[in-house]
């Protein structure tokens, strides 16, 4: 039976992130993808000025009510950007209506050690409540620190630090954890030459699984959305989380490579379109 995923995020009309990434990527795995937009923006916000922003909080209750009348159900729910504590509360209510759905919370709050400027200082306290109801959380290093009320540590990281951080998140929230955007630096040979790696760590409460690729210099917007969407699609197609982790990392890395090869402006997202057809190759 075809799985149905509800993807909840903003729509950045230009930028290949959030729902404009989630819808095509999850769908490419043969998954019925329903979307619930939390806001609509003219572009994504990183490195771009004068963008428009429209909050859709007032529309969400009516949409959910209509779906309820139609008897719509979901096998999984994936949340990304939530623009306010009010929207977090809406998601908490939604989660309670679908207790058997797999719930992935990408706690979009910040990057590079700082809370996004659009959020009030107390926003992490609200996001924590949603993470407590998740089956899987996928914070980056900044968001992991915010969720634990800890100081942000700059990269590169050691495996010991990464694993201890994942353990603390698991203990605090009771959800499986994938920490994204982890930058490691390894010495390759006796000459001291180093290769930088970037990737993610999965901790399921018992075992660790790393997925790493060579670090491509630059800041590529929408990378986390592409990663989480691929992870969700692969998992709903039947891959265990450890396998889906590697699928997501490989898809994201190749999309970054292609973006660089094409010379595209990294502010406008990753060129993931070139690889979508490969995601459904094993569908029967």
Q: Would the pLDDT of 70 be above 90? A: yes
pLDDT of residue 203: 98
SS3 state of residue 200: strand
Q: Would the pLDDT of 284 be above 80? A: no
* Mean pLDDT on 133-151: 97
Instruction: Choose among 106, 79, 83, 107: nearest CA to 93.
Output: 79
pLDDT of residue 1: 86
Instruction: Choose among 76, 133, 74, 132: nearest CA to 102.
Output: 76
Taking only the tens place, the pLDDT of each residue in 219-266 is 899 999 999 999 999 999 999 999 999 999 999 999 999 999 999 999
Taking only the tens place, the pLDDT of each residue in 174-226 is 999 999 999 887 655 555 556 688 899 999 999 999 999 988 888 899 999 99
* Cis status, amide bond into 156, omega within 30 of 0: yes
Counting runs of H as helices and runs of E as strands, what totals does the chain give?
9, 11
Percent of the chain with pLDDT over 70: 95
pLDDT of residue 188: 58
pTM value is 0.94
Percent of the chain with pLDDT over 90: 85
Residue 277: which residues within 8 A CB-CB, separation 6 or more? 28
| 103: β partners | 77
Q: Residue 167 and residue 174: Cα distance in Å, rounded?
A: 10
């Amino acid at each position: 039976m075809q799985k149905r995923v509800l993807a909840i995020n903003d729509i950045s009309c230009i930028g290949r992130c959030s729902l404009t990434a989630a819808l095509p990527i999850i769908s490419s795995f043969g998954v019925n993808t329903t979307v619930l937009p939390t806001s609509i923006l003219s572009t994504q916000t990183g490195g771009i000025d004068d963008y428009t922003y429209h909050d859709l909080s007032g529309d969400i209750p009516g949409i959910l009510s209509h779906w309820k009348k139609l008897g719509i159900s979901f096998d999984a729910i994936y949340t990304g950007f939530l623009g306010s504590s009010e929207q977090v509360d809406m998601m908490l209510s939604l989660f309670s209506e679908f207790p058997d759905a797999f719930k992935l919370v990408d706690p979009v709050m910040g990057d590079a050690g700082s809370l996004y400027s659009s959020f009030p200082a107390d926003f992490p306290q609200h996001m924590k409540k949603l993470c407590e109801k998740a089956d899987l959380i996928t914070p980056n290093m900044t968001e992991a620190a915010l969720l634990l009320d800890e100081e942000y540590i700059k990269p590169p990281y050691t495996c010991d630090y990464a694993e201890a951080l994942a353990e603390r998140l698991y203990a605090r929230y009771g959800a499986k954890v994938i920490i994204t955007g982890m930058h490691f630096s390894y010495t390759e040979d006796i000459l001291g030459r180093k290769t930088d790696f970037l990737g993610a760590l999965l901790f399921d409460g018992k075992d660790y699984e790393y997925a790493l690729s060579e670090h491509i210099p630059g800041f590529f917007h929408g990378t986390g959305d592409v990663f989480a969407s691929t992870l969700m699609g692969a998992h709903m197609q039947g891959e265990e989380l450890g396998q889906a982790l590697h699928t997501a990392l490989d898809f994201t890395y190749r999309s970054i490579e292609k973006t660089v090869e094409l010379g595209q402006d990294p502010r406008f997202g990753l060129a993931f379109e070139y690889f979508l057809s490969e995601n459904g190759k094993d569908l029967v």
